[in-house]
Homo-oligomer: A and B are copies of this chain.
Amino acid sequence: MSVLVVGSVAFDAIETPFGKTDKIIGGAATFIALAASYFTKKINLISVVGGDFPKDKIALMQRKGINTEGLQIKENEKSFFWAGRYYNDLNTRDTLITELNVLANFDPIVPPSYQDCQFLMLGNLTPTIQRTVIERLHRRPRLIVMDTMNFWIQTAYEELLKTLKLVDVLSINDEEARMLSGEYSLVKAAKKILSLGPKVLVVKKGEHGALLFKEHRVFFAPALPLEEVFDPTGAGDSFAGGFIGYLAKTNDVSFENMKRAVLFGSAMASFCVQKFGTEALLDISDYQLNERVRQFVDLMQLEGEI
């Protein structure tokens, strides 16, 4: 099944305790689409970049099976740019620079060839743009997954609520779940959030794994304890790409299959953090991916009865 990915395609400059990059390519949609490309070759991208965005990186995405017909290039403008510095624990970071540039007036155009979209992944963007994409699709996709962030919860709450009503799955981190619901307990937070529209909630907890909530059911996926975490940028988006990519590949949106999708998403996130930016997502073999997922399964494997 095809996946439609909406989100930023951008430049990042990252500083971690282990090193520092100049401007490298990043953006939610870049990570999502690259991670999803390991599961399906029918990926359609909606985003916008400036004339400064390297054409060879667009060609690279195309070679990965990502259709960039919906990627607008504003030749006389500049791409979205984010710079951040991570603290030693890699869980906290300071934003040093945010230049919206082309994103400031982003009008997401849906090419006619994208209209058959069955799996829609709304990467982090203003809730209004996310909703516009849904409205511009002639037929509702089979599954709509949405990400958001603290900034929109604080500054565009009403718009966010409107978009939330239209989606099937919300995938956010624990801090965002607490902020959106006003509840510290993630069980209570999940109950509240699931009353706002989404039927399923994924709570990403970084090195502590992920929780999947649907009605009264909960699944807890571990994170792989890694020896080295190099750069957490894009981990949540890689998770989302693996999650929706696996669902699209298997064309099965049952809770049981979503559990497996969470493990594949977690596997993609675990690759992502091992190198700077998108680097680790560019060349993963089937063998490596399957081995990685096997490690996740082993981590939670109980033999015999209890």
Nearest CB in chain B: distance from A227 CB, A? 4
Chain A contact residue count (CB 8 A cutoff): 34
**Nearest chain-B residue to A256 (Cβ)?**
B303
- Asked whether A299 and B225 contact (CB < 8 A) given A304-B256, A306-B260, the answer is no
Contacting pair A209 B222 (CB below 8 A): yes
**Nearest chain-B residue to A211 (Cβ)?**
B225
Q: Which of A88, A184, A225, A229 has the most CB of B within 10 A?
A: A225
> Which of the segments A132-140, A143-151, A185-193, A278-286 contacts the partner chain?
A185-193
Q: Which of B218, B259, B302 contacts A225 (CB 8 A)?
A: B218
**Nearest chain-B residue to A297 (Cβ)?**
B306
Q: Which of B190, B229, B300 contacts A185 (CB 8 A)?
A: B229
What 1/0 flags go to A286-305 for Cβ under 8 Å of B?
Answer: 00000001000101111110
Contacting pair A187 B227 (CB below 8 A): yes
Contacting pair A88 B225 (CB below 8 A): no
- Asked whether A184 and B89 contact (CB < 8 A) given A293-B306, A300-B300, the answer is yes
Q: Which of B190, B220, B225, B301 contacts A222 (CB 8 A)?
A: B220
Q: Which of A222, A297, A303 has the most CB of B within 10 A?
A: A222
Contacting pair A226 B260 (CB below 8 A): no
A188 to B293, CA, bound (A): 21
Contacting pair A302 B306 (CB below 8 A): no
**Nearest chain-B residue to A295 (Cβ)?**
B218
Q: Which residues of B contact A297 (CB under 8 A)?
A: 302, 306
What 1/0 flags go to A97-130 for Cβ under 8 Å of B?
Answer: 0000000000000000000000000000000000
Q: Which of B187, B205, B227 contacts A226 (CB 8 A)?
A: B187
Q: Which residues of B contact A184 (CB under 8 A)?
A: 88-89
Q: Which of A186, A211, A256, A302 has the most CB of B within 10 A?
A: A302
A263 at the interface (CB under 8 A from B): yes
Nearest CB in chain B: distance from A266 CB, A? 11
Interface residues of A in 206-263 (CB under 8 A from B): 208-209, 211, 218-220, 222, 225-229, 256, 259-260, 263
Chain A to chain B: the 3 pairs with minimum beta-carbon distance, closest first: A220-B222, A208-B208, A187-B227
29 A-B contacts (beta carbon < 8 Å): A88-B184, A185-B226, A185-B227, A185-B228, A187-B225, A187-B226, A188-B227, A190-B225, A208-B209, A209-B209, A209-B220, A209-B222, A218-B299, A219-B299, A219-B301, A220-B225, A220-B299, A222-B222, A222-B300, A256-B302, A256-B304, A259-B302, A260-B302, A260-B306, A263-B306, A297-B302, A297-B306, A300-B300, A300-B302
A residues adjacent to B (C-beta < 8 A): 88-89, 184-188, 190, 205, 208-209, 211, 218-220, 222, 225-229, 256, 259-260, 263, 293, 297, 299-304, 306
Q: A220-B299, A256-B303 are in contact. List 12 more A-B contacts (CB 8 A).
A: A185-B227, A185-B229, A187-B227, A211-B225, A219-B299, A220-B225, A256-B302, A256-B304, A259-B302, A260-B306, A297-B302, A297-B306
